[in-house]
Amino acid sequence: MPAGILCSTNFCLSQLGATHPPNTKRFHAMLAKFSIRSKIIAVVALLLVMMSGMGLLAIRNMRAINANTVDIVTNWMPSVRVLGDLRAGVITYRNVIREHMLAETLEGKQAAEKTLAGVVESNSKIRASYEPMITSPEERALYNQWLQKWEAYKKGTEEVMALSRKEAGKIPHEAHELNTKTVNKIGLEADEILKKDIDLNNAGADKAAQDAADSYGSALVMLMIIIGGAIVAGAAVSFYLVRAVSTGIASIVGQGRPQRGGATSGREDRDRRHGRHASGVQGSLDRQEGRR
């Protein structure tokens, strides 16, 4: 390295050292105790730890997202679907009761009762498929309340159909009055409870979906923070390593140059002494020859 560049480098380093506060100087002095190999190993280890942390964070959040997705698919969505089928079956049951009262002949009323038996069987199958899906005490309590109201409603409709059969061929005033003033009210109460159960399952599905979205959002933010921190730390450490290596090389070159210069000047002095000695010997020989 040329002397001018070396001096300029040393001057810049001295200026940088002069502008650093005492704490920074002590920090650099502490780091200077470690070899370059140790520093590189430390940097690689730091990067590996950061990469491992990113991987573990990603796995944890992926598990949370997967758990919420499985909860939606296996718990909330099937319950909402089955409850929707049950509600449709309840509406069909009511429509058949109205058809029974509107039928003018006994045969028409019997046909409506046959249709109603099929609706009851379908609703029983739907209830049997829904009951194992109940997971929370709140949902179980709502279902039990609905079941009590529904059984009371069915019992009331049996009385309505009995009055409707007695009044075949004419307007069923008694059946209509019983259905309007008593039985329908029980049915509306049952519908309200069933609606609460459906809303509960919809709310559970929405919460699971929101939890999955929150897990994804938090994972994305944390990964961005870790990546940003890794970039900043990598840039800072790379700058420090390059500076440390450059300073070490400059120091080695600066120490080696005076030694080579001293050795060269020593050889030149020896050559000059040898030359003077040889000249003196040659002069003595010439004087001896002159005397002869």
Closest CA to 126 of 189, 192, 79, 185: 79
Instruction: Compute the distance between CA of residue 195 and CA of residue 84 in angstroms, rounded to an integer.
Output: 10
Asked whether residue 280 is domain-assigned, the answer is no
Single-letter code of the amino acid located at 51: M
Instruction: Compute the distance between CA of residue 85 and CA of residue 125 in angstroms, rounded to an integer.
Output: 11
State residue 56's pLDDT score. 80
Instruction: Compute the distance between CA of residue 151 and CA of residue 224 in angstroms, rounded to an integer.
Output: 57
Asked whether residue 234 is domain-assigned, the answer is no
Number of alpha carbons in the 13 Å side-chain half-sphere of residue 24:
7
State residue 136's pLDDT score. 87
pLDDT along the chain (292 residues), means of 10: 41 44 60 69 78 77 74 75 91 92 89 93 92 90 94 93 87 88 92 92 83 78 79 78 73 60 53 57 55 54
Instruction: Check: CB of residue 124 under 8 Å from CB of residue 136.
Output: no
Asked whether residue 206 is domain-assigned, the answer is yes
What is the domain extent for residue 114? Answer: 65-223
State residue 145's pLDDT score. 94
pLDDT tens profile 25-35: 665 566 666 67
Query: How many domains does one find in the chain?
Result: 1
Instruction: Check: CB of residue 237 under 8 Å from CB of residue 179.
Output: no
Provide the 3-class DSSP secondary structure of residue 154: helix
State residue 13's pLDDT score. 40
Region for 128 from its dihedrals, namely left if φ exceeds 0, alpha if ψ lies in -120 to 50, beta otherwise: alpha
Asked whether residue 214 is domain-assigned, the answer is yes
Asked whether residue 245 is domain-assigned, the answer is no
Structure tokens at 149: 């109201």
Asked whether residue 108 is domain-assigned, the answer is yes
State residue 135's pLDDT score. 85
pLDDT tens profile 125-136: 999 999 988 888
DSSP type of residue 105:
S
Using the structure block, give the residue that is written with the tokens 């060269």: 264
Asked whether residue 267 is domain-assigned, the answer is no
Single-letter code of the amino acid located at 204: G
Asked whether residue 252 is domain-assigned, the answer is no
At 145, which CATH number? 1.20.120.30
State the helix-helix crossing angle for 184-291 and 3-19, rounded to 10 degrees: 140
